[in-house]
Structure 1
């Protein structure tokens, strides 16, 4: 196998994500205090004060501290909501694709119903009705983004259900649980793994949008809340929104590049085409 891990998409995307993870891990060490504390004068531009290298916001809070602690919030929300979406989507898609018939019809109608409702609008309603905390945001984003995974898993199960190795297991008297978890699901992971990075990216964007609309956790600093606070000074201090906005752009870019790299590595057709073309 050629060295697929040397492809530019995985090198660039992996480097960006490693930097984001490092920022989240080092946030408590580099900035042990509360990032919501006012540590200096407001409207300090980046590079003008050594103690606040990225400047301060409208309230005199350190943007560097908020940026690093915000990485924690973004990764926590993105990964946690993706796990919820994967659990629901895999369960619904596997049941629909394996049992087919009435079960498939009912679960497909439920999936289509959720798809008719804009996911972000439903998330806004859930967060507005419930108390806006990180747990609520994770729950709202998770239960509104599972439909694409369900459709992918259903399609894979419908295809794999008729394969010879599954029929052989059925002939040997294998149980439904064995067929689902030992025979079919391990062979249906490729599109799920590729879509997971996109789920995390969409969750990060959605959390930032919720925080921008003042529907985020008021006790936690996130990149979206930093952008929302900085919009009041967009004309005079654009750096307040540009810095966290750039962090969101780079993180989502890294996740999309990683998704492309995984798709190229796990897709048999693309892998064979890449093996036929030597690296230069």
Structure 2
């Protein structure tokens, strides 16, 4: 396992809180950075994806070299394909979705994929968890029902594909070795896939300094550095705590979208968020 486990298990409480908060803010920032880049700059979604993955790969490779961890881990092509599918669908979805709606759909799809896999391999759900699952599904239905406040259907489908791909990526990463090295290897393998996408869509390619800057920040800081911080603090968190604190990511993204992007907070989104996050919380929380 990760050599940092003995260190993190003795980490002081305030440091655990600080690192956990930084990681969650980084995860939520991916939604904000992608949305602002595709809304307020001219960069195209394919270029954003490529630059994000290149920056993430470079940051993770650098941090792995600095840490010199002796634990094994290198990533693989199937996980890299899932990572690429997530990153590409994520970018194209945010062409039309708000930061809050995108983050909520992404998180819901990630958890649905992982919970569904658990059910498929024979895990039993208690009554509390079944109620939570029905509540979360109901929240997604409320969010996607046709109407004036409904998010664009194509963007919503793409974001749910992104969430499913991230769920697969997360499931494949369990026990795969040192998280830092595995992440670095997967990011490096995902880069050529993203470059192929950019080549295929080169007619629509547009780059500007602001868009490139947001993509670099998304890849290097919100993705690469965020994952390292999360994996550093993860051994110090209980499994149930690690799962439930991630419920705050869509909320942070929603608040960021309202404050920094001027996005509206609709009643439909509030009700859907309460149902989805509350339902997932019931599934994840142990008695």
Mark yes or no: TM-score above 0.5. no
> Could you say which structure has the greater relative contact order, defined with CA pairs below 8 angstroms and 6 or more residues apart?
2
Give the TM-score category using the shorter length: under 0.3
Query: What TM-score does the superposition give when structure 1 sets the normalisation length?
Result: 0.28
